[in-house]
Amino acid sequence: MDIIHAFILGVVQGLAEFLPVSSTGHLLAFHEILKFDIANSLSFDAALHLGTLLALLAFFWRDVITLLKGFFQSLRHWQVKTDEGQKLAWLVIVGAIPAGIVGIALDNFIENNTRSLILVAVALVFGSIIIWWAEAWSRHQWQNNQITFKTAWLVGLAQIIALIPGISRSGATIVGGMFKKLDRATAARYAFLISLPVVGGAGLLKLFDLVKSHPQGGELTQVFIGIITSAIVGYVVVKYFLKFVQKHSLSVFAWYRIIVALALLGFIIFFK
């Protein structure tokens, strides 16, 4: 049964990581409500991010190659203003720095103080309000697809708040981009790219923690199944979500978040 649980959590991670609904909040809710028997659940959830990292690498492999080439070329000859590859590399780095620093500095605090269903429910509602606000505001703004370093930094700051379960990393960064007048599709694509170093780094650190705890063979199987499942599901979600945001608003996800928040509050009141 534990393997089935790992598969289900992999599906949840793959679906929720790239949609503005909070994968961390959903995973926490599944653990709390369904009482999944997964050893080291926090490290397991973080390791699942390696699956969605694989999905991003597979989908954006051309961009990743461009990023790597641009980064190493910039170390030899700085041409960020004229070289698109170098500029993209440093836009991703700048956008990833805020959440990377805060995530490392407050890792233990976040782990010990944010795994609460009430907090997740409140964060889901708060995120819905921000999504509706961003959609309403952006309809009256001239939009573009040009990302500046100022925009990258501000979107990176928005990613910090997504360290709270229930906020959503993709939601915070996409909305951050929209408030800087990026069109929805450009904001979503950039949001996924800047998540590469943050999600990859966090996932690897937690995987190392999991390995250091000397897991049994069955636990390693759970991790493997969860990662592969989240990678496959995540790839499909990225592909179709990027098409979706070209023509549709994020409001449907805001309504979904409200429904989930109400369901969580109902569970807390009547069953907790």
- d(CA 183, CA 146) in angstroms, rounded, equals 9
Q: What is the pTM of this model?
A: 0.91
**pLDDT one digit per residue (tens) for the chain, 272 residues:** 488 888 999 999 999 999 999 998 998 898 888 776 555 566 677 778 889 999 999 999 999 999 999 999 999 999 998 899 999 999 999 999 998 899 888 888 887 888 899 999 999 999 999 999 999 998 877 777 789 999 999 999 999 999 999 999 999 999 999 999 899 999 999 999 999 988 887 777 766 776 676 666 677 788 889 999 999 999 999 999 999 999 999 999 999 999 999 999 999 998 87
Please tell me the number of Cα atoms within 13 Å of 269 on its side-chain side: 7
Helix (H) / strand (E) element for 135: namely helix 117-138
Count of Cβ atoms closer than 10 Å to residue 260 Cβ: 21
- The residues, any chain, with a CB within 8 Å of residue 49's CB and separated by 6 or more, are 13, 17, 199, 200, 202, 203, 206, 230
Residue pair 160/98 in contact by the 8 Å Cβ criterion: yes
Read off the tokens for 108.
Answer: 């233990």
Read off the tokens for 229.
Answer: 């499942």
